[in-house]
Amino acid sequence: SNCSISTRSILFDGVDMQNNIIVQPMSSVTGFVASGTIIDGEEHKSLPSDMSIVHSNRSLSIWHKIYQIIVIISIICIHYTLLIIVYKIYSIEQIPLPISIAFCWTLWSIIGCFISLLLLKFIVGSCAAGEIYPTASRLYLQKIWLRQLIVFSFSPAWLLPTSHDYLYPYVLRWLGAHIEENVKLGEIGTFLSCPTNLLKLEIGVTTFGGILIVPSELTLSGDHRVDQIMLGSHTNIANGCSILPGSCLASETMIGNLTRITRETKSKYGEVLMGVPARTMPFQMPRRPKIQDQMKIIPFWHTCLSHYVSKCLLLSIYSFGGFIGGSIIHTILVCSLYRCRSYIRHQIVQQVIARLNQDYAQFICPFLGNTQWLIRLFRAYGAHIGENTIMPDIICITDYPLMSIGDNVRLNVGTQIQGHSFEQRILNVAPVSIGNSCVIMSGSIVMTGCKLMGNNRLHPGTLIMKNDQLPLNTHWKGIPAQLLTTKATSSQSILVCENEAEQQQSSETMDNLSLQYESIGNTYSNIDELQFMNYGYADFDAHIDGDIDYYSKQLYKEVLAHVSLKNQNVLEVNCGRGAGAVWCVHNYVPSFYVGADLSSDIIDVCQQRHSMISRLSFVVADATKYLPFENESLDIVLCVEATHAYGGPAAVQRFASEVARVLRPGGYFLWCDLCHIDGSDTSLDYLTANGELIVAEKMNITRNVLHALDIQSNTRAEFIERYVRPREREYFRLFAGLPGTQMYNGMYEGYIQYWRAVFRKKTTTISII
């Protein structure tokens, strides 16, 4: 009881909500939710002790109910009168039925739009910013409820204008909105649904499909508050965004898909905002072109003529062939016209084809949803779709020739896969690939150029950014998407461990240094200076660099010196806080790069810091037991300074077997680490003991590592004094390799060596006798 669930929220997968719960707009809810919880996007917060939910009386009086009945009857009478007027015009001259009905249809749409505007301006009227309307009040019924009723009732008439119609700003100005020049709106219905006199859109604003302008926001007492909405000049708002009362955006702001904007959203000039709630992203859009604008202006008479011609064709088809025959003819016609659309240049003809497709989607496609007939239709349009794939409706994919979808894919209601974007009003297209057995849940969007490798699961309301590549067997959630977990098994995987209990068992044999590593990563996750977690590498003739991360980057550079990562599928094992992975992606341009680490807390840090970087993802994995990738699926595996903490020869050999399993024949394993000299064996020997990896090149770099540690010793010692708690400083000194510690002394005295090596997986050859 006393729960408040706001607009566009998604409840899924066994929800159990207790009392006094507030679900903010566009939040996803699953599982058990305790009493007194505020769900804001992915965050669950406790209701403050000084905040209570006390609902005002929301029961409508008998007079309010009578008012509603009178209003509904009046709306019905208006529609009936409108139909009578149109019929009288039709009966003046006897002309063929399809032509006359098409004319009446177009005329009804024009008059319906005009009447709805009159009702909104003179009956509903304007609102004052900051006003609060109790649900059980006449003002709420007039200002909020009646406005929604009128807009919904006349929405079929508003199908007459096209997307980004040049008349939309004029309509809103007449209703009292402050609309400046060069404003282009994807849809007008959502703007009509809110108090238009509270809208302020500055020059150059652009909005796209699925935008929701929320008419009012609920207070804790259950009342409705309206407020001004201001969009700064040249603001771009992408698909599926929600804008709440009180929102104010600075100029040149870019709002990404599925973003929620509220009065709490703070924006600055030129920022990119994404997420629920909206937050600033660490990248910038390119400079806005001053002239180029690929959104065409379509004259109103073109709109009316194309509407009339398309309805003539539609009615002729079904009057000639009936419902069954007409459906077949309509299907053949829209498929044929879609395939030859690129050869048609005349604007009116293009509009007629677009309206025929719109009519087909409106009248026929609802019967095809979740059936294989819809899949066959997509294939006829040019999409490449595998077997046993199910999609809910026609609007879930666009740009059909750019779509490649595998077998056993499931799309839920409200998902979108887009092959185009219109950022800064410039059209960009790119192919999208969805691998086998992917599940895309409700409200998710996959953008242009994305590639889902297979067996991926997107939770509700997930946004996959442009050109992202999702590794096999991964789950994703959030805006932008963050990796949740990796499936431990797939039908094509070979497991090293035979049972689940053994896979989940903690690594009890790992030495103290490994435990210190995980503790350091978890406890000091917010310290920006602690990014790279290796000893570093320094040439003796190189200059001394003051950058705290310079020598750690040089170690990566040394390990990668003999193999190119460009356009390769790369896995970094024990990636730590992800700084090395980010550096590699920026400098070596792999096809995709996955960082794996045993610690889920450290992976959380990686995802929080680096989730916006394309081609880069992170996953939790115990490399000594199982790497969550298919056999022979990777080109390169990288491991920097980690195997010494695996717990002994047996664990290192298991790790080497996993590396060999996931590498393609001829693939490279790039490695560097400490080697304890104990007679004849070193870590190098453990890695090649299984005979699956061969050493292509190796080098003892102990002197260069010691030189780097000497250079960095003061900086690292100062860091430890400044940030680390006294009782943990000795562990940090050991981990940092400071002079006087066991690790440093071991390398200096020679019983510990530091090696780098390039291993290559053996290629299998088959001899024919």
Are residues 418 and 469 both part of a single domain? yes
Are residues 307 and 417 both part of a single domain? no
Are residues 605 and 708 both part of a single domain? yes
- Residue environment code for 315-353, b if the CB has 16+ CB neighbours within 10 A, otherwise e: bbbbeeeeeeebbebbbebbbebbeeeeeeeeeeebbbb
Q: Is 540 left (phi over 0), alpha (psi -120 to 50) or beta?
A: alpha
Are residues 243 and 302 both part of a single domain? no
Q: How confident is the model at residue 732 (pLDDT cuts 50, 70, 90)?
A: confident
Are residues 175 and 303 both part of a single domain? no
pLDDT at 319: 87
pLDDT tens digits for range 4-28: 888 889 998 778 888 888 898 999 8
Are residues 608 and 478 both part of a single domain? no
For position 401, which CATH number holds?
A: 2.160.10.10
pLDDT at 52: 61
Please check whether residue 147 is in contact with residue 139, taking contact to mean a CB–CB distance below 8 angstroms.
no
User: 57 or 523: which carries more pLDDT confidence?
Assistant: 57
Please check whether residue 743 is in contact with residue 752, taking contact to mean a CB–CB distance below 8 angstroms.
yes
pLDDT surpasses 70 at 95: yes
Residue 542 belongs to some domain of the structure: yes
Are residues 210 and 253 both part of a single domain? yes
d(CA 746, CA 752): 5
Nearest to 241 by CA among 213, 282, 265: 213
Residue 53 CB neighbours (<10 A):
18
Please check whether residue 662 is in contact with residue 629, taking contact to mean a CB–CB distance below 8 angstroms.
yes
Residue 685 belongs to some domain of the structure: yes
DSSP state of 762: P
Are residues 216 and 164 both part of a single domain? yes
Are residues 620 and 664 both part of a single domain? yes
pLDDT surpasses 50 at 488: no
Are residues 440 and 559 both part of a single domain? no
pLDDT surpasses 90 at 47: no
pLDDT tens digits for range 709-726: 998 888 888 888 776 767
pLDDT surpasses 60 at 530: no
Counted domains in the chain: 5
For position 276, which CATH number holds?
A: 2.160.10
Tell whether pTM > 0.85: no
Give the HSE-up count for residue 494: Cα atoms under 13 Å, Cβ half-sphere. 9
Are residues 18 and 167 both part of a single domain? no
Look up the domain containing 336 and give its range: 298-363
Residues constituting the chain = 769
Distances in whole angstroms, Cα of residue 718 to Cα of each of 207, 231, 334, 721 = 51, 47, 71, 5
Are residues 22 and 170 both part of a single domain? no
